[in-house]
Amino acid sequence: FPHHENEIAQSEGCTGIHPFVHYWLHNGFITVNEEKMSKSLGNFFMVIDILEHYDPETLRFFIVSTHYRSPLDFSDARLTEAQKSLARLRQAQETLGELSEMLSAGPTAESLALREKVKELREAFMEAMRDDFNTALAISHMFALAKEINIYHKAVVDAGIKPDGKLVAMFNDVFAETCSIIGVLEKPAAPAAEEAGDSKEAELVEMLIAMRQDARKNKNYALADELRNKLNEIGIVLQDTPQGVKWSKQ
């Protein structure tokens, strides 16, 4: 008293919702570049300031990547890392979309074993969340699931076979469920050109991708790798798929 009561009064007075929340959690201290955030140190900023440089989903993912009771250190490096990590999950989501569009088949011994692995990863995620909202551990299981999605997609494409339809459905259900609980990737990704925000930039990226494809056709793999690395340096991630090269911004 009176801090919690004041917060309740402000929140409910502003929204008209009663009760505004059912649970209050005390989070760890927030630091900036490993220094305590304070007005006296001049390192104090608001959420609206962060959103000028990072999208809201990246900020949310950054926050829940640390256990709520642990200290949370803000820095551009850590926010950029969270942005890249979220991009990896989105890539797995897109890969899963490609699996869903393929004609499906029945199970194999390998896919049956993978079905069990998906169940285990879901339970591990839920157990982490039940253990004092351990979002950091839960997210690690999301990445493990994303890895299995990518490996299975590659195996299916390389072998030229149809995926196990029930397994793909399980992938979809568990991936969507975990994303919903964490609060990320709930909206479809914007088209790459739209993400670029500049048609000229998109045209340049497409031109470099075309140059890379020509280099690969001519077996000039050194040049192809160099072009891919250069694109990666400026935040453009390429994904080779059976439908062609897809790109996105980190």
Query: Does 171 reside within a domain?
Result: yes
Domain residues for 218?
A: 192-249
Residue 113 and residue 63 in one domain: no
- Pull the structure tokens for residue 143: 């990445």
Q: Is the peptide bond before 107 cis (omega within 30 degrees of 0)?
A: no
Residue 61 and residue 139 in one domain: no
Query: Does 119 reside within a domain?
Result: yes
| Mean pLDDT, the chain, integer | 88
pLDDT at residue 45, as a whole number? 76
Query: Does 33 reside within a domain?
Result: yes
Query: Does 148 reside within a domain?
Result: yes
Residue 83 and residue 61 in one domain: no
Task: Tell me the C-alpha to C-alpha distance, in Å, between residue 135 and each of 82, 163, 250.
Answer: 14, 31, 22
> What are the pLDDT digits (tens) for 83-141?
999 999 998 998 999 999 999 999 999 999 999 999 999 999 999 999 999 999 999 99
> What are the pLDDT digits (tens) for 141-162?
999 999 999 999 999 999 999 9
Closest listed residue to residue 60, CA positions, set 51, 49, 71: 51
Binned at pLDDT 50, 70 and 90, residue 193 comes out as very low
CATH number of the CATH domain containing 140: 1.20.120
Q: Is the dihedral of CA 43, 44, 45, 50 positive or negative?
A: positive
Query: Does 136 reside within a domain?
Result: yes
Query: Does 128 reside within a domain?
Result: yes
Query: Does 187 reside within a domain?
Result: no
